[in-house]
Structure 1
Amino acid sequence: MTSASRRGAHERRWRTWIPPQHGVWAMLLLPYLAGLQFGLSWLHVPLLVTWLSGWLASYYALLAVKTLRLRRYWRQFLAYGVVSAVAAVPLFALRPGLLWFAPAFAVLLAVNALAARMGQERASVNGIASVTMASLMAMIAPATAGLEWTLGVPVAVAAWLYLAGSVFYVKTMIRERGSRAHYVVSVAFHAGAIAACLGVNPWLAIPFAWFLLRAAVLPRFSLKVPVVGAIEVANSLLLLGFLTLAWWA
């Protein structure tokens, strides 16, 4: 086997266990990291492991639901599911109140499962369900530190506004490029997000003004998918900075 073929085999094995959705990591980490600003606890480590491995388990479970090929994905689902379950033991043992978030996750996962079974996993409703789950982490993080979960509500709202806006915006850049209807929805949502974030924290109008500008202007350019993803990662870091500074300024 040549070195090139070995690299190819290694990449195929890697893709078998790591989803080819690089932009999703910003969605998963932004609310979690933003929620850490209210207080830190060693329990945030198992929380992160539970969250990331749980998402990976759900990803492969949804693939099995979509394709009806459980035998193909059971190893990934089982491995990530076990890791998530084990990491969750100290969380629920020491912070049983976190279980109150379980019904919300169950409903949102049901939306994901229905969309996957119908072959509509790229639908906006499914994307909104996913970003809503991610945004809940901004409230779960302070609760994990033994604080009131309500501390994270403003951060969760701001994160949701950005992530939900990204669902609409990315469609105008890739799958629905050139669609006037999708473009109007994206720009209108971002304009409304500015007004909404003013009620959360006026400082957030700065990054959200940029998010509106990019939603209005960038669809006019033909950008490659990696570039679109890189811009969104940078935007996530920008918002994370503002979500931290706005509450402590």
Structure 2
Amino acid sequence: MWLSDQPGAWLFAMSPVIASLIVVRFDVLALWIAVAWNMCYFVQFTAARWFKSHGRSRYAKPMVVYEVIALLIGFPLLMMHPELLWWAPAYIVFATTSFIASSLRKERSLWSNAAQVAAASCMAVVVLASINNDAARGWNIAAGFALVQFGCVLYVKTMIREYGKASYLTASLVWHIALVIIGFAVSPVLGALACALLARAVTFPLAARKHRIKPSIVGAGETVATILAIGCIVAAL
């Protein structure tokens, strides 16, 4: 009730912020934003469960507790740095999309996943624009994570929820091949990262045809991939 049931989801949501923290050398304001975003993540997945249940009371307590904690952390932050409110409309759209998907029980749909990837990725811009006034680098990092993370979404679907569907496997492979091309066009480091991700997107679905791979193992692999992405994206961008 209090923790996400998706292996690796926390790191997935936090990775653009973690990359930004490394870039700004763990600035105090950046850390405060990161903690606030962490609580937003906890609010999101508990609220999504509440919306999915159509308001059943048993799902309300974790959501309300996390909302109060997020308010206690976030309200002083916004009072001291009201410029962060410029991002409110975008995040209202991201959150609304997520909660609509949950209420329709389509929280694992591609359009819902895309909103979650966009919300997480844009946090790189929020941090870097606020700390270093370096929105351009923030957008570069956000784009890098958005491309990598949506590829992860497609790959994970080929391993779990859409296992065995040729359409998803094709989409995943095409996305990862495009990622290799884009990666090498930008930086050898990003090209190498994309090659590693492509190799995983090819070999694991093939291996799963003989022996189905457990979701926990898939999640562990994505944790490693996310850590690798953080290092490569920070180094290259």
Q: Quick check: TM above 0.5?
A: yes
* Partner in structure 1 of residue 196 of structure 2: 210
Aligned pair count? 232
* Partner in structure 1 of residue 221 of structure 2: 231
Task: Tell me how far apart the structure 2 counterparts of residues 241 and 148 of structure 1 sit (CA, whole Å).
Answer: 19
Alpha-carbon offset, residue 52 of structure 1: 1.4
Q: State which structure, 1 or 2, has the greater radius of gyration over its C-alpha atoms.
A: 1
> Which sections of structure 2, spanning at least 5 residues, go unmatched?
none
* Partner in structure 2 of residue 160 of structure 1: 146
Report 1:7-18 matches (<5 A).
16-18=1-3
Bigger mean CA offset, 200-209 vs 75-84: 200-209
Pair 83,149 (structure 1): closer, same or farther in 2 beyond 3 Å: farther
Is the Cα–Cα contact under 8 Å of residues 176 and 201 in structure 2 kept in the other structure? yes
Is the Cα–Cα contact under 8 Å of residues 161 and 193 in structure 1 kept in the other structure? yes
Q: Secondary structure at the match of 1:44?
A: helix
CA deviations over 1:18-47 (Å, ceiling 9, x no partner) = 121221012122101111233242122321
1:192 aligns with 2:178: yes
Q: CA RMSD in A?
A: 1.7
Task: Give the partner amino acid of 1:22.
Answer: P
* Partner in structure 2 of residue 131 of structure 1: 117
Report 1:59-98 matches (<5 A).
59-98=45-84
Task: Tell me how far apart the structure 2 counterparts of residues 148 and 241 of structure 1 sit (CA, whole Å).
Answer: 19
Is the Cα–Cα contact under 8 Å of residues 21 and 31 in structure 2 kept in the other structure? no
Pair 87,144 (structure 1): closer, same or farther in 2 beyond 3 Å: farther
Task: Tell me how far apart the structure 2 counterparts of residues 137 and 70 of structure 1 sit (CA, whole Å).
Answer: 31
CA deviations over 1:139-158 (Å, ceiling 9, x no partner) = 11213325233321111111
CA deviations over 1:90-137 (Å, ceiling 9, x no partner) = 322232221111111111112112211211111111111111111011
Aligned identity (percent) is: 29
* Partner in structure 2 of residue 149 of structure 1: 135
Alpha-carbon offset, residue 178 of structure 1: 1.0
CA deviations over 1:199-242 (Å, ceiling 9, x no partner) = 54342011111111211221011222121111111111111111
Pair 101,233 (structure 1): closer, same or farther in 2 beyond 3 Å: same
Using the size of structure 2 for normalisation, the TM-score is 0.91
Specify which of 7, 15, 33 is matched with residue 47 of structure 1.
Answer: 33
Task: Tell me how far apart the structure 1 counterparts of residues 77 and 55 of structure 2 sit (CA, whole Å).
Answer: 32
Specify which of 228, 240, 244 is matched with residue 230 of structure 2.
Answer: 240
Is the Cα–Cα contact under 8 Å of residues 56 and 80 in structure 1 kept in the other structure? yes
* Partner in structure 2 of residue 102 of structure 1: 88
Task: Tell me how far apart the structure 2 counterparts of residues 218 and 133 of structure 1 sit (CA, whole Å).
Answer: 28
Alpha-carbon offset, residue 246 of structure 1: 2.0
Using the size of structure 1 for normalisation, the TM-score is 0.87
1:175 aligns with 2:165: no
Task: Give the partner amino acid of 1:104.
Answer: A
Alpha-carbon offset, residue 245 of structure 1: 2.1
Task: Tell me how far apart the structure 1 counterparts of residues 79 and 134 of structure 2 sit (CA, whole Å).
Answer: 18
